[in-house]
A and B are shown apart, each in its own frame.
Chain A
Amino acid sequence: MNVIRFLLQNHTQVLELTMEHLWLVGLSTAFAMLIGIPLGIIIAHRPSWNRPVLASANIIQTIPSLALFGFLLPVPWLGARSDRLAILALTLYALLPIIRNTYAGIRGVDAAVIEAGKGMGLTESQLLFQVELPLAVSVILSGVRIAVVISVGLATIAAAIGAGGLGEFIFRGLAMVDDRVILAGAIPAAILALLADFGVGWLERRLRPR
């Protein structure tokens, strides 16, 4: 119960850090979608590109997050502001599930449907926007959902390089050896992850083709 009292007493700061956290996660997810969905579409249509792209995204995923934050720190424009750096790192981590699910979603469209569409004289972009993407949208969104949930957790580490977010409480609590402060960061972060999971999951079901 001490945690709740702590949260209430510091509610302005909790709110502020939550907003920072949302900003980090939201912006990085948006970037990852802007890059990952087109990449996923491309590799679904050019099978020879599939291995190198997915392998690269996989390798990025294996770099320990603290190390990645550290590596990026000396980069000129990025290193100047730690939130830029955090957003880049989070974007990179979010790529894999988004690329992979976009690829899987589009490859999962019934070959007969594509064949019929082509045979009727649909152009590649008509086929993509009228057939492939609408049929793949729920699979793509489930990739986005995984990416968001991972990002909410990872973003707490961004506080280690001073990018803010709910990780601030966690690191401060660790330094002070105070569970209340750690939980003041961890609980809102967990709630955010659950809400994001639920929200994108709802969207996914809404947009699922019949």
Chain B
Amino acid sequence: MHAIDANPVIEFRDVSYRVQGTDVLRGLSLQVAKGETLVLLGRSGSGKTTTLKMVNGLVSPTSGAVLVNGATHTDVDVIRLRRGIGYVIQEVGLFPHFTVSRNIGVVPKIEGWNDARIQARVQELLQLVGLSPEIASRYPHQLSGGQRQRVGVARALAADPAILLMDEPFGALDPLTRDELQREFLSLQRRVNKTVVFVTHDLREALRLGSRIALMEAGKLVTVLSPHEFVKSDDPWASAYVRAFGDGLESAANRGTS
């Protein structure tokens, strides 16, 4: 169905998840290769967020196995693992009582970096995500939605994780800011080259940002396709998506990676 990588960074092996008698995920098998941006596309309740949270162990599978760098979560210390995985969510979840600088420095600090190194890293990251240095001393409530999400991305990148998990990170932003952040994400991804798993229900976003798109429906993986394949696909679910988003998607496909 899709390319099999010899050493996937993330691998789902026949993963199922049941909660209170309901199947949230059924028999999911999926691999994520190093340096790619895999988009989990699906509507609300399709299981895409649950799938994402299995990577950093916020959710554990009922059956099957999730391997990160070849090891399951039972083999490794989940706390350590999470510190090596950047996590960005739609609500951002910045600590409201911390300044921007302290927010970005959370993981470096608990990892025992000294203050000078943290401060240098904070400045570097602010520049990377397109924020001015003076923002470092502000509090989250003093920022706009777009600035907050930029800080969220900077925080996720702080300890230079190899993997980045993003759960509808731009979903709550206005269209212009979303467009801007998507563009910046692409240029950022070219520079930092992380393995990214990106959750969205927006096909345009998926086509634009993803190197592959994993389409999910009702707890099952429907298909995994490249953006180009996706827009031409005759898979009923994929074509339903394409129809719902209307014309002009051909040109949206992979604008970023081409």
Spell out A's residues near B (CB within 8 Å). Answer: 110, 112-123, 126, 130-131, 134-135, 209-210
Interface 0/1 of B3-18, CB less than 8 Å to A: 0000000000000000
Kindly state whether residue B82 has any CB partner on chain A within 8 Å: yes
Q: A116-B93, A120-B156 are in contact. List 10 more A-B contacts (CB 8 A).
A: A110-B96, A115-B89, A116-B87, A116-B89, A120-B82, A120-B155, A121-B107, A135-B97, A209-B97, A210-B139
Secondary structure of the B side of the interface?
Answer: mixed
- Cβ of A131: which chain B residues have Cβ within 8 Å of it? 95
27 CB-based A-B contacts, threshold 8 Å: A110-B93, A112-B92, A113-B94, A113-B95, A115-B58, A115-B89, A116-B93, A116-B95, A117-B95, A118-B58, A118-B82, A119-B56, A119-B58, A119-B82, A119-B85, A119-B87, A120-B83, A120-B87, A120-B106, A120-B107, A121-B85, A121-B107, A122-B106, A123-B79, A126-B110, A134-B97, A209-B97
Give B48 Cβ to nearest chain A Cβ, in Å: 16
Q: Give the 6 A-B CB pairs with smallest separation, nearest first.
A: A116-B93, A121-B82, A112-B91, A119-B87, A121-B83, A209-B97
Q: Give the residues from 96 to 128 in chain B that come closer than 8 angstroms, CB to CB, to chain A.
A: 96-97, 106-107, 110
Kindly state whether residue B240 has any CB partner on chain A within 8 Å: no
CA of A45 to CA of B84 in the docked complex: distance in angstroms?
26
CA of A130 to CA of B106 in the docked complex: distance in angstroms?
10
CA of A209 to CA of B139 in the docked complex: distance in angstroms?
10
Kindly state whether residue B141 has any CB partner on chain A within 8 Å: yes
- Cβ of A110: which chain B residues have Cβ within 8 Å of it? 91, 93, 96
- Cβ of A121: which chain B residues have Cβ within 8 Å of it? 79-85, 107, 110
- Cβ of A116: which chain B residues have Cβ within 8 Å of it? 87, 89, 92-95, 152
- Cβ of B95: which chain A residues have Cβ within 8 Å of it? 113, 116-117, 130-131
CA of A207 to CA of B117 in the docked complex: distance in angstroms?
29
- Cβ of B107: which chain A residues have Cβ within 8 Å of it? 120-121
Q: Are A113 and B96 in contact (CB under 8 A)?
A: yes
Spell out B's residues near A (CB within 8 Å). Answer: 56, 58, 79-85, 87, 89, 91-97, 106-107, 110, 139, 141, 152, 155-156, 165
Give A47 Cβ to nearest chain B Cβ, in Å: 15
CA of A115 to CA of B90 in the docked complex: distance in angstroms?
11
- Cβ of A135: which chain B residues have Cβ within 8 Å of it? 96-97
- Cβ of B89: which chain A residues have Cβ within 8 Å of it? 112, 115-116, 119
- Cβ of A118: which chain B residues have Cβ within 8 Å of it? 58, 82
Most buried by B among A114, A116, A126: A116
Q: Are B96 and A210 in contact (CB under 8 A)?
A: yes
- Cβ of A130: which chain B residues have Cβ within 8 Å of it? 95
Give B113 Cβ to nearest chain A Cβ, in Å: 14
- Cβ of A115: which chain B residues have Cβ within 8 Å of it? 58, 89, 91, 93
CA of A119 to CA of B156 in the docked complex: distance in angstroms?
10
Q: Name B139's closest neighbour in chain A (CB-CB).
A: A210
Q: Name B87's closest neighbour in chain A (CB-CB).
A: A119
Q: Name A116's closest neighbour in chain B (CB-CB).
A: B93
CA of A112 to CA of B152 in the docked complex: distance in angstroms?
12
Our pick among B97, B110, B152 for the contact of A122 (Cβ within 8 Å) is: B110
Give A126 Cβ to nearest chain B Cβ, in Å: 6
CA of A130 to CA of B98 in the docked complex: distance in angstroms?
10
CA of A116 to CA of B103 in the docked complex: distance in angstroms?
11
Our pick among B58, B81, B96, B156 for the contact of A209 (Cβ within 8 Å) is: B96
- Cβ of B91: which chain A residues have Cβ within 8 Å of it? 110, 112, 115
Q: Name A119's closest neighbour in chain B (CB-CB).
A: B87
Q: Are B83 and A112 in contact (CB under 8 A)?
A: no
Give A132 Cβ to nearest chain B Cβ, in Å: 11
CA of A64 to CA of B72 in the docked complex: distance in angstroms?
57
Give A108 Cβ to nearest chain B Cβ, in Å: 12
Q: Are B93 and A117 in contact (CB under 8 A)?
A: yes
CA of A128 to CA of B148 in the docked complex: distance in angstroms?
23
- Cβ of A113: which chain B residues have Cβ within 8 Å of it? 93-96
